[in-house]
Amino acid sequence: MRKVIKIRNLDCAACAAELSEELAKLEGVESAAADFINQRVSLEYEGEEALAKAVDVISHFEEVEIIDGNAPQKRDLHLKEIISIALSAVLFIPALVLQLVRVNEWIPFGLYLAAAAATGWAVVLNAGRNCIRAFKDGFHPSVLLDENLLMLIAAVGAFAIREPMEGAAVMLLYQIGELLQDIAVGSSRGEIGKLLEMKSDTAILMEEGTQCTVAAEELKEGDVILLRKGDKVPADCILCEGETVLDTKSLTGEAAPREAREGDEILSGCVNAGSAVKARILRPESESAVAKILEMVENSSAKKAKPEKFITKFARYYTPAVVLLAILIAVIPPLCNGFDFTTWLVPAIEFLVISCPCALIISVPLTYFSGVGTLARYGVLTKGAMYLDALAKVKTAAFDKTGTLTEGRFTIVGINGEQRTLALAAAVEKNSSHPLAQAFIGAESGYTASEVREIAGMGLSAEVEGRRVLVGSARLMRENGVRIPSLETLASVIYVAEDGVYTGSIEIEDKVRPEAKQALEALKRGGIVRTAVLTGDSAARAEGILAELPVDEIHADLLPAQKPEFARKLKEQGALLYVGDGINDTPVMAESDVSVAMGGLGSDAAIEASDFVLAGDHLSALPKAVKGAKKTRRIVFENIVFSIAVKVVLMAVSLAATATGLFALPIWAAVFGDVGVMLLAVLNSMRMRGKLK
């Protein structure tokens, strides 16, 4: 069984990792993932007893609270932190002035101590709580040796060596950094929270000529609703009559309006920008496009990228290691040089403070989270941060033709042969879910087909009035010994045969998507080296239809089973991205490094098969996805390099300064090496929320 528990007050990635570990140890809990950014815990468990134990652990973990899934999130105004910082600053400034004018040293000392207490009480409380938890059920050094204990050691050490200004500054700067970090992380959470605005809470239901307002959750398949101008579409539906204009920006990120006519599908989250129309519900609100968008974005953080996994694991062993090194710095040099422990206590404390890995364990997951949210704004949904990394490395892009590079809306443009050809084809094709079958919707047929069997990649076989009817490609006819005439046309041709005798053919036309050329050109500018098309269509037809597109190679006449073979060959040229409809292309999607489903929100199969879904069925979102993935990876790399470089330099300077005696690095500079670097890394992560140009 699976359950997602919404929480509040889980404030750091290290705490989330620790909570996940505690939950995973429980009997009956198969897996657990605590997410400090989304404020949720995802559980896989065996029974209600295991769930009850997990709930108990969550509710007793630090200050974490479980909240009702329908309850609105409280807006955190950080009043407690702001008051503490303000009070500390009010005490710190006069203490500094009195110290500079050389008043009795005990007066500024007392003020500094009070200033440190004003902001440090929370640090002391958290450090004490961690000490208790660290020795519960064995010893857990990573719980004990967190940033709270490191800052407490730094402040106490500064007061102990008669540097009260340094001790008060440590606590004040630390709490300012924590406050700014919380605001930055909360801002990113709010950015994702804006996606909830896509949902419509109510709908106008039409029943027996009357109108009534109902909750969107109450809508069911077949209900007819009224969409007035400005109304948000509450659930996926089909336009019953008339025509209108839709604002699809919330799904696609593009402001361009889209016309909708009778019979067109309308996805939830769109806004009716035209006249009032009636629409019939296709799927309940819980299975709608918006519901799937929100579910994918919320669940994306469960699949972590390699840098995230590494940083979380690294911090577990790193912190105890640096504490041991700090002890060695404080002890070994004095033993070798006159037992001067006071001199080496400062660099040992600074080493502890500087080495804290907070900048990495907060900024890295925050960057990926922001990347997922940014792509969602442009109508690109991802299943996890790990796929952003994979997409950033892509060098080759392969596409299905029908419904991907073309619109996938087929219309009959010609009929050849006997008069009953169309009627026979329509009777058989109405039993198929293939895109070509859409062309026969509305075609009249006096026949009824039975024992319909799909022949992969070639067509259909059925019984019609006791005769065996074949409907499909030229290959289907040849393999069944049916002689067919040659046709000079760029349209797709569906052949019809009765009892092995050619009856006629139907020409069906599909158009290239208007944005396809621009999207492919943008992909090449974005670093995609080679583009290819894998299609079951004939080479002549595929080349004719795609002639205007900047495609490097076309592989035609392929059966579904053959596409993975060509995908493997394309992967030899670099990491492969494959874009298809997500249903018929499942084998090749599994073979590719990254897979994208076009407009598959109405299909569970599309979401299951792909790593990304283009929510608005618009190719122009694909280059945005590639840019977003590369930008995310670049910012993660910047934060890792910057954080490590600054910490290494400051630690080296601190040790060198003490060893040479030339100068002393102040403890507040060490605090900058922790809190300042962390804050700068978080602010750099927030660049991911900007526009993708």
Which residues carry out catalysis? 400
Neighbours of 81 (CB within 10 A): 18
Task: Return the structure tokens found at 675.
Answer: 């809190």
Largest CA distance in the chain: 112
Whether 292 and 607 have beta carbons less than 8 Å apart is answered as yes
Task: Return the structure tokens found at 375.
Answer: 């792509």
| DSSP annotation of 235 | S
Long-range contacts of 409-412 (CB under 8 A, 24+ apart): 409/438, 409/510, 409/511, 410/435, 410/436, 410/438, 410/439, 410/492, 410/508, 410/509, 410/510, 411/439, 411/508, 411/509, 412/439, 412/440, 412/443, 412/506, 412/507, 412/508
Report CA torsion sign: 219, 295, 623, 510. negative
d(CA 154, CA 173) in angstroms, rounded, equals 12
Alpha helices in 101-234 (DSSP H): 106-134, 141-144, 147-160, 164-193
Collapsed DSSP state (helix, strand, coil) of residue 154:
helix
Whether 657 and 664 have beta carbons less than 8 Å apart is answered as yes
| DSSP annotation of 243 | E
Task: Return the structure tokens found at 57.
Answer: 């652990």
CA–centroid distance for 654 within its chain: 41
For the beta sheet containing 29-35, the strands, ordered from the edge strand earlier in sequence to the opposite edge, are: 29-35, 40-45, 2-8, 65-66
Task: Return the structure tokens found at 19.
Answer: 């909570």
d(CA 270, CA 157) in angstroms, rounded, equals 60
CB-side neighbour CA atoms (13 Å) of 514? 1
Find tokens 């006249």 and name the residue.
275
**CB burial of residue 108 (10 Å; 0-12, 13-18, 19+):** buried
d(CA 683, CA 352) in angstroms, rounded, equals 24
